[in-house]
């Protein structure tokens, strides 16, 4: 996996009791640390900046100056695990991530990235600049100011994983017009509260939007948009369950609604429920996207690894 090069950063010296990541060229105003023990982010930062007040360290998070493995993080209790990379900068992370998105694949037609949790796919009323679309637009325009990208599909802001954009209108239209015909797999890892009633199953409902702009299910045929979600339990510890989820349709918030209505909310989903949030993020990751290229007819398959905090949470609390 390659990352879009960043031309404006440079590192400072390391703190004495923390292993520093390998030095990179052309990095300024940046401190980078490797995590060696499991910890919460605020506590970790307080250990590194012992001469600073607690409020000063908190301000690093609230002002978007901290990232973990390339993704901006503001939660004080965000879980850190051995091997994580924590970066602190002197300016807001969300501006710098425009040139630091992990690219899975790129050719003349497509760019596929591993979108971090907490990053919008496209602009919203409240956020115009810190989006995957804006970051990738900046990236392609570094090569030619006339280059553009085009939205093909979206992921929720707090969902991480495989996100694809088109590099020309022709491929965008071809993908969108034949999306349901050519897409053969859309796979997700989900961490939910509790234990599923069955080790595997399927939800088939019709999704509608209520007056609060939230989606909900109707079982009456035609009363809303058809939504089909398949799940299989990978592992459970009695408190949380890790699921392999595949969808036949791509409706708004489909997985979150179906799992929540089954009584097993995706952890961290404060939009549709109030489940625990032990990993400091939404427990949903798009790990696979497979489709037939509408122009070449070639099978395209993209995947990303499971976020390590998903499996760590299940195994840490697993009953012996």
> pLDDT per residue over 53-89, tens digit each?
888 888 888 777 888 887 778 888 888 989 989 988 7
Q: Which residues contact 55 (CB under 8 A, 6 or more apart)?
A: none
Q: What pLDDT was estimated at residue 174?
A: 92
Q: Which of 156, 158, 197, 269 is catalytic?
A: 156
Burial class (CB in 10 A: 0-12, 13-18, 19+), 185: middle
Residues 74 and 72: their CA atoms lie apart, in Å, by 7
CB 272 within 8 A of CB 257: yes
Listed as ranges, residues in the chain with pLDDT below 50 are: 5-28, 92-99, 320
Report field, pTM of the whole predicted structure over 0.85: no
CA atoms within 13 A on the CB side of 274: 0
Q: Which residues contact 128 (CB under 8 A, 6 or more apart)?
A: 134
Structural element, H or E, at residue 287 = strand 284-292
CA trace torsion 51, 56, 61, 62 (10° rounding): 180
DSSP string, 155-221: --TT-EEEEEEESSHHHHHHHHHTHHHHEEEEEEEEEEES--SSSEEEEEEEEEE-TTS-EEEE-ST
Closest CA relative to residue 136, chosen from 156, 164, 169 = 164
**197 classed as catalytic:** no
Alpha carbon of residue 283 to chain centroid? 9
CB 286 within 8 A of CB 159: yes
What letter does residue 266 receive in the DSSP assignment? Answer: B
Residues 98, 101, 103, CA angle at the centre, nearest 5°? 140
For residue 91 the two structure tokens come to 């300016």
Domains of the chain: residue spans and CATH: 2-93 (3.10.290.10), 101-316 (3.30.2350.10)
């Amino acid at each position: 996996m390659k990352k879009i090069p960043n031309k404006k950063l440079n590192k400072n010296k390391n703190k004495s009791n923390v292993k520093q990541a390998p030095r990179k060229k052309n990095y300024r105003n940046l401190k980078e640390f490797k995590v060696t023990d499991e910890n919460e982010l605020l506590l970790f930062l307080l250990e590194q900046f012992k001469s600073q007040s607690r409020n000063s360290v908190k301000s690093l998070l609230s002002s978007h100056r901290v990232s973990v493995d390339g993704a901006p993080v503001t939660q004080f209790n965000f879980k850190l695990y051995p091997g994580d990379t924590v970066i602190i900068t002197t300016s807001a992370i969300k501006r710098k991530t425009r040139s630091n998105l992990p690219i899975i694949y790129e050719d003349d037609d497509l760019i596929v990235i591993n979108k971090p949790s907490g990053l919008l796919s496209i602009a919203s009323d409240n956020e115009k600049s810190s989006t995957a679309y804006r970051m990738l637009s900046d990236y392609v325009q570094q090569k030619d100011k006339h280059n553009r990208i085009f939205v093909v599909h979206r992921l929720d802001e707090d969902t991480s994983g495989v996100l694809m954009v088109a590099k020309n209108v022709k491929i965008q239209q071809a993908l969108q017009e034949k999306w349901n015909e050519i897409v053969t797999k859309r796979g997700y890892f989900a961490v939910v509260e509790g234990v599923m009633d069955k080790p595997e199953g399927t939800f088939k409902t019709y999704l509608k939007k209520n007056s609060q702009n939230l989606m909900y299910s109707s079982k009456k045929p035609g009363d809303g948009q058809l939504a089909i979600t398949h799940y299989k339990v990978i592992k459970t510890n009695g408190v949380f369950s890790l699921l392999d989820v595949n969808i036949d349709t791509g409706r708004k918030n489909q997985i979150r609604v179906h799992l929540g209505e089954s009584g097993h909310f995706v952890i961290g989903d404060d939009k549709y429920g109030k489940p625990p949030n032990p990993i400091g993020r939404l427990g949903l990751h798009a790990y696979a996207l497979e489709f037939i290229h509408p122009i070449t007819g070639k099978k395209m398959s993209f995947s990303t690894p499971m976020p390590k905090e998903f499996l760590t949470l299940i195994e840490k609390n697993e009953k012996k």
